Structure 1
Amino acid sequence: MTVSTASRNQTIAFDLDKLNEQFETATPKEILAWSIENIPMGLVQTSAFNVDDMIITHILYSELKHPVPVIFLDTLHHFPESLELVAKAIQIYNLDLQTFKTPDVDTREAFEAKYGDKLWDKDIAQFHHITKIEPLLRGLDELNSVAWITGRRRDQAVTRANMPIFEFDGKGRLKVNPIATWTRKDSWVYVAEHGVIYNPLHDKGYPSIGDEPITTKVGEGEDERAGRWRGSDKTECGIHI
């Protein structure tokens, strides 16, 4: 299947079937190098600053020496440790950080005053639309993005088991999943070998870290993302649906 994606200044055609066959056994570095070469403008990384996101940032900024804009969604509900990691990454990598958030609110208190107390308990879909989906779409548009890089892996959840390395999103942009074929073990081996910084909460029972009010620790034998939206049948915030 050949599809094309466009920005104001370019139109690029991609044969997704061919790309996915070609790069199924490629390394994340090779996938990212191809992306850099073939998407000269409009390539961005989206990052929640989980360990897999940090690996991709490290490859882009330290190995390939090709900084790209990094979109961070400030939901106003992050763990303090997550925000400290963001600040540390900015210093270490001289990160081109592009932060997007809910318009017209700058604190949790202001968010609650506008949208009500504990919106995530009352309407989780609305909470995610306000804090993540709308800011992400706005950020991709404002940065004139042609393609965006994610840190998803197939083994993170059953819903991601068949995720391709290259796919097309609903807005006509290319999505690049360079560590799709990696396992959790592969990620941590890379971190150890390359000294990649990561959120200390990963060492305290949080393999996947989202918003503080709705992220819990994961027990032994549980799915990696079991601590997200615990007690519900929700598996994704909506960004990747």
Structure 2
Amino acid sequence: MVYSLETPVQIDNLDLDELNQRFESAHPREILAWCVANIPTKLVQTSAFNVDDLVITDILYRELKPKKAVPVMFLDTLHHFPQTLELVAKAAKLYNLDLQVYKVPEINSREAFAAAYGDALWDRDIQKFHYVTKIEPLQRGLSELGAVAWITGRRRDQAVTRADMPIFEKDIKHRIKVNPIAAWTRKESWGYVSEHNVIYNPLHDQGYPSIGDEPITTQVAPGEDERAGRWRGTGKTECGIHI
């Protein structure tokens, strides 16, 4: 299905309460179709290439096929698992993504990162590690891409901190933040993956339901929270880009 563009909306005039009520029970496809039709030129998907992100990418690129491809922003922290980087390259080729990669400026390896910031910055100052590798590159990327709205792959059932997350909200820069699978469960995401043969990170089959940076992502035991393996022992529930 090729989705045609309508007249773009004025972001400042959007009634987010009305949109959230209208789309609360909608399929993510309907939410994304509305975004493609109404925010066609300054819409960005942010993706860590976890399974939920790839569900969104599949809907955007395989089902909706907007005339102007939605850029997919990936934050290369320089500390990803090799499997994650392989998946990014595979997905970029499969979907012919408009892939936009952002990272720490002028640093291109873990060794160079350690030389600039010291060994294991995540152990010494995880807040600074996340700011340098994720928060600053994200904000710089959204600014450079001229985004007025960005799409995330967050679900309410991923963590208690996300339980009341709306589908449409505003970020600290007053951009529209769209969470099209907010109301979905992990089972529904994987159901979509199975039905449409969506590619995914092999680490998901090895006890990693949520995958972040290799040094600070551990396997999750049966019965643990889906995101229990992220920043284990630090007390953190978010890296900071969604706060």
Give the TM interval when normalised to the shorter protein.
over 0.9
Number of equivalent positions: 233
Q: Which amino acid counterpart does residue 32 of structure 1 have in structure 2?
A: L
Distance in 2 between residues matched to 1:36 and 1:128, nearest whole Å: 30
1:36 is displaced (CA, Å) by 0.8
1:55 and 2:47 matched: no
TM-score, with normalisation over the residues of structure 2? 0.94
Query: Are the aligned partners of 2:156 and 2:163 in contact in 1 as well (CA < 8 Å)?
Result: yes
Distance in 2 between residues matched to 1:11 and 1:103, nearest whole Å: 33
Q: Which segments of 5 or more consecutive residues in structure 2 lack a partner in the other structure?
A: 1-7
Query: Are the aligned partners of 2:16 and 2:169 in contact in 1 as well (CA < 8 Å)?
Result: yes
Distance in 2 between residues matched to 1:193 and 1:177, nearest whole Å: 21
The C-alpha deviation readout for 1:131-178, integer Å capped at 9, x for no partner, is: 000000000000000100000000000000000000000101000000
Task: Name the SS of the counterpart of 1:26 in structure 2.
Answer: coil
Structure 2 residue aligned with 1:46: 46
1:40 is displaced (CA, Å) by 2.1
The C-alpha deviation readout for 1:110-140, integer Å capped at 9, x for no partner, is: 0000000000000000000000000000000
Distance in 1 between residues matched to 2:172 and 2:110, nearest whole Å: 30
1:175 and 2:183 matched: no
Task: Name the SS of the counterpart of 1:206 in structure 2.
Answer: coil
1:81 is displaced (CA, Å) by 0.1
Runs of 4+, deviation exceeding 3 Å: none
The C-alpha deviation readout for 1:187-225, integer Å capped at 9, x for no partner, is: 111000000000000000000000000000000000000
Distance in 1 between residues matched to 2:77 and 2:28, nearest whole Å: 28
Distance in 1 between residues matched to 2:203 and 2:40, nearest whole Å: 35
Query: Are the aligned partners of 2:9 and 2:38 in contact in 1 as well (CA < 8 Å)?
Result: no
1:11 is displaced (CA, Å) by 4.3
Pick from 138, 159, 162: which aligns with 1:160? Answer: 162
Distance in 2 between residues matched to 1:96 and 1:11, nearest whole Å: 25
Structure 1 residue aligned with 2:117: 115
Structure 2 residue aligned with 1:139: 141
Structure 2 residue aligned with 1:94: 96
1:22 and 2:25 matched: no
TM-score, with normalisation over the residues of structure 1? 0.95
1:85 is displaced (CA, Å) by 0.1
Pick from 192, 195, 205: which aligns with 2:194? Answer: 192
Distance in 2 between residues matched to 1:159 and 1:32, nearest whole Å: 24
Q: Which amino acid counterpart does residue 87 of structure 1 have in structure 2?
A: A
Query: Are the aligned partners of 2:9 and 2:39 in contact in 1 as well (CA < 8 Å)?
Result: no
Structure 2 residue aligned with 1:150: 152
Q: Which amino acid counterpart does residue 106 of structure 2 have in structure 1?
A: D
Distance in 2 between residues matched to 1:233 and 1:123, nearest whole Å: 13
Q: Which amino acid counterpart does residue 141 of structure 1 have in structure 2?
A: S
1:64 and 2:29 matched: no
1:38 is displaced (CA, Å) by 1.0
Task: Name the SS of the counterpart of 1:45 in structure 2.
Answer: strand
Distance in 2 between residues matched to 1:132 and 1:63, nearest whole Å: 29
Distance in 2 between residues matched to 1:57 and 1:230, nearest whole Å: 28
Structure 1 residue aligned with 2:229: 227
Structure 2 residue aligned with 1:3: none
Distance in 2 between residues matched to 1:217 and 1:42, nearest whole Å: 37
Q: Which amino acid counterpart does residue 74 of structure 1 have in structure 2?
A: D
Task: Name the SS of the counterpart of 1:237 in structure 2.
Answer: coil
Distance in 2 between residues matched to 1:44 and 1:88, nearest whole Å: 20
Task: Name the SS of the counterpart of 1:44 in structure 2.
Answer: strand
1:84 and 2:101 matched: no
The C-alpha deviation readout for 1:1-37, integer Å capped at 9, x for no partner, is: xxxxxxxx99422101000000000000000000111
